[in-house]
Amino acid sequence: MSCLLLGVLRRHGAVGSSVGIRSLASIPSLPPAVAEFVKGAVDECKPTDVHVVTGTPEETANILAGLEKEGMVKRLPKYENCWLARTDPKDVARVESKTVIVTKNQRDTIPIPAGGVKSQLGSWMSESDWQKAREERFPGCMAGRTMYVIPFSMGPVGSSLTKYGVQVTDSPYVVASMGIMTRMGTPVLNRLAEGTEFVRCQHSLGRPLPLKAPLVNSWPCNPEQVLISHLPDMRRIMSFGSGYGGNSLLGKKCFALRIASRIAKDEGWLAEHMLILGITNPQGVKRYVAAAFPSACGKTNLAMMKPSLPGWKVECVGDDIAWMKFDSQGKLRAINPENGFFGVAPGTSDKTNPYAMATIAKNTVFTNVGETSDGGVWWEGLDPPAAGITLTDWHGKTWKQGSSTPCAHPNSRFCAPAAQCPIIDPQWESEEGVPIDAIIFGGRRPEGVPLVYESFNWQHGVFVGAAMRSEATAAAEHKGKVIMHDPFAMRPFFGYNFGDYLSHWLSMERRKAPTHLPKIFHVNWFRKDPATGAFLWPGFGENARVLEWIFKRCSRESEDEAAKKSIIGWLPVDGAIDTKGLSGNVDMGALFDVPVPFWQKETKELRAYFTQQVGADLPAQVEAELKALEDRVHN
């Protein structure tokens, strides 16, 4: 079979793109390197059919109709071309414990933690263990199913910042979602025909036919055998057992962060877990900023902000990933490599993010949200449905307000085309990328960390990114809230040793070519009043007031313009943040207080973290910044 397949993959002029074993000759020709990859995957996974994805609207409609027939998705008649998928309850999120990076040496992937502590900065698997795991999973895993071949582009086709991939998968849900999240199909295949390099992505649900056990929710997956593996030296991703987006849409975190961060290190650019937005002042001057926040810190809300300040305008380039490269003039330029938004639904509403709500009104695939009896969707954070409208939860069961379980899964998602966003930036698909003036780090810190501060310089800014921490709810309820280290908001996504990653960031300052480094800031929208537990800052559209200060600092004539020096960085001087029209009584003093005892404790935590987790791989410059902060907080 495979010799025959290789022959047809290379044959020219054939038509049609879905082939059964009896009609392999109907497959279109594929570029030799793609043909070789597909042949290897077919030999290993043994699908019954091969379908080369073209990306046409007719093909997408057929894929969705097939999913509907299989019971994997349901049409939502209330909206135009919207669909609802309900997964197996065991397949609802990224599985960090089953996500590995495979390299010859462990230290290429993670710093060796001190004293037997478990690394929090990635999971390494040896080549021999991986080979064994692969042999236990992939052989024959697509029996009875169609293998879809998806040529895709991360970034606008033709941009110098763009990278290409080919994903083989037995999940039509993945095909439908990749058609939203990436540029996919024939135009990409044409690029690959020119010999362009590509990342090889192999994905299987791990449920060959005939089934040995019934499916849950008509959703094929193999939770006990999940393994998402990355082979950065070979530019390859192999994912098994999960149909959930973060594990199966391999262009997303797997390629755009884990593999791309390694490519970026090798090639001298940055692949980051950052939103990109454009902000224009009332005088028409525009700047672009990139911002890294851990999950549940309002990344999408900031990327699509409706500013409360009159005359200011925010436009969205991307809400999740930024690829950034210095141009010949030394300006850092960024693209959003994605083509869609894969956002968390709960908490998204007309109050928190009206532009996201407009974006998802059509051509959207929803996963694990609630459903209304009039053919719409619902989740926590939306207004209760109109009288007489009933709700079905993400398990497909009747749900009533006040129930002890949520209607929508907390990690339920919308997958929508970015071009539908009402405030998508006119330059969002610019081939050269947009010029970045500022990089913002942030987290959910209930105490001690001010609303905004600026780093002293680039090296100190890299330290600020490395020191990022954010409140996360512990898995065990009784632990309450814990503050987690999440350096650069990249903790689950580093593609190589974090110490080397920090060195790579620091090296930007030593480029031989001209370099205009962006200024680096840290924000915290989530500080609380210790007496009441209420948030001190209203957030959302009011965050424009903070962006205004950042905007002005980008064109400052002197270091202390609208700023004063503190032990942690430059703080806005009193009155520098415009508070006119702020609703309620906002205590600016409390928001900008920098309590020394808190920062003494913070530096102690950081010292322990860097010692245990990064050890000998911590760059000397980052150690020097930590030492300098320790000196400042103790003197």
Among the listed residues 98, 253, 262, 491, the single catalytic one is 253
Please pick, among 39, 46, 94, 485, the residue that the annotation labels catalytic. Answer: 94
Concerning whether 295 is annotated as a catalytic residue, the answer is yes
**Which tokens sit at 84?**
């609802």
The DSSP element (H or E) to which 168 belongs, if any, is: strand 163-169
- Which of 148, 164, 173, 244 is flagged as catalytic? 244
Pick the catalytic residue from 49, 88, 319, 320. 320
Do 86 and 394 contact (CB within 8 A), yes or no? yes
- Give strand ranges (E) for 514-611: 519-523, 563-565, 570-572
| 49 is known as an active-site residue | no
Which residues make Cβ contacts (< 8 Å) with residue 631, sequence separation at least 6?
none
| Catalytic site includes residue 153 | no
Q: Which of 617, 496, 503 is nearest to 233 (CA)?
A: 496
In the residue annotation, 244 being an active-site residue is answered as: yes
Catalytic residue check, 460:
no
Question: In 3-state terms, what secondary structure has residue 349?
Answer: coil
From 126, 295, 308, 349, the catalytic residue: 295
Virtual torsion, Cα 540, 541, 544, 547, nearest 10 deg: 30
Which residue of the set 141, 297, 407, 415 is catalytic?
A: 297
- Whether 155 and 164 have beta carbons less than 8 Å apart is answered as no
Pick the catalytic residue from 258, 325, 413, 444.
413
Alpha carbons within 13 A on the beta-carbon side of 369 = 29
State the SS3 of 370-413.
EEECCCCEECECECCCCCCCCEECCCCCEECCCCCCCCCCCCCE
Ramachandran assignment for 311, one of left (phi > 0), alpha (psi -120 to 50 degrees), beta (any other): left
273 annotated active-site: yes
Q: Look up residue 30 and give its amino acid.
A: L
Residue of 501, 485, 459, 503 whose CA lies nearest to 613:
485
Q: For this structure, is 469 an active site residue? A: no
Active site residue 94: yes
Choosing from 273, 485, 527, 545, which is the catalytic residue?
273
Q: Token pair of 315, please? A: 């436009």
Nearest CA to 122 among 494, 549, 529, 635? Answer: 494
Alpha-carbon span 22 to 44, nearest angstrom: 19
Active site residues per annotation: 94, 244, 253, 273, 295, 297, 320, 413
